Structure 1
Amino acid sequence: MIVLSSLVVLALGFWMVFALLGAVLKLVFGIVGGVFSVVGSVVGALVGGLAMLLVAPVVALALLPVLLPVALLALIVWAIARGHRKPDVVVMPASR
């Protein structure tokens, strides 16, 4: 009985050591994976931002024929609305 209980204690001891080792490895790989994920996100945002800076002028020029009439109409509406507005009156305080 003593031999059997000592074998069980030995087996459970090995189980606990390997479980602890697995938990430590899981924690370490989780932290390393998180760091790589953050670095990858930053690099992806940087590359995406640079790509947007390179592509945005080309897209703006490609959309210019479509947006020019809309911009012209908005300019006409703004000019009419501004022309019908009463002038701002600034009241100066009386000087002594």
Structure 2
Amino acid sequence: MFFLTSLVVLAVGFWLVFAVVGTVLKLVFGIIGGMFSLVATILGAAIGGVAMLAVAPVIALALLPVLLPVGLLALIVWAIARATRKPDVVVMPR
């Protein structure tokens, strides 16, 4: 019985040691992976920002035929609203 108990304690001890080692390795690789992810996110945002600055004028020129009538309509509505507004009353101090 003592021998069987010793084997069980030894097996549980090995299991506990390997579980602790696995937990530590998972934590370390998780931190390293998180750092790589953070660096990749920053690098991707920088490269994406530069690409967006390079492509934005081309996109603006491509959208000009669509946005020009909308802009003109908004300008007409603004001009009508401004023309039909009552004039502001200015009170002069005496």
Question: How does the TM-score come out when normalised to structure 1?
Answer: 0.83
The alignment of Structure 1 onto Structure 2 pairs a total of residues equal to 94
Distance in 1 (alpha carbons) for counterparts of 2:49 and 2:90:
46
Q: Deviations over 1:2-39 (max 9, x none)?
A: 23322222222111111100011111111111222222
Q: Which runs of 5+ in 1 are unaligned?
A: none
The CA deviation at 1:82 is 1.0
Distance in 2 (alpha carbons) for counterparts of 1:77 and 1:88:
20
1:87 match: 87
| Paired amino acid for 1:16 | L
Distance in 1 (alpha carbons) for counterparts of 2:76 and 2:4:
96
Alpha-carbon RMSD across the aligned residues, in angstroms, is 1.6
Question: How does the TM-score come out when normalised to structure 2?
Answer: 0.84
1:76 match: 76
1:29 match: 29
Distance in 1 (alpha carbons) for counterparts of 2:92 and 2:56:
48
2:18 match: 18
Is the aligned partner of 1:52 residue 2:52?
yes
| Paired amino acid for 1:47 | I
The CA deviation at 1:93 is 2.8
Q: Which runs of 5+ in 2 are unaligned?
A: none
Identity value in percent:
74
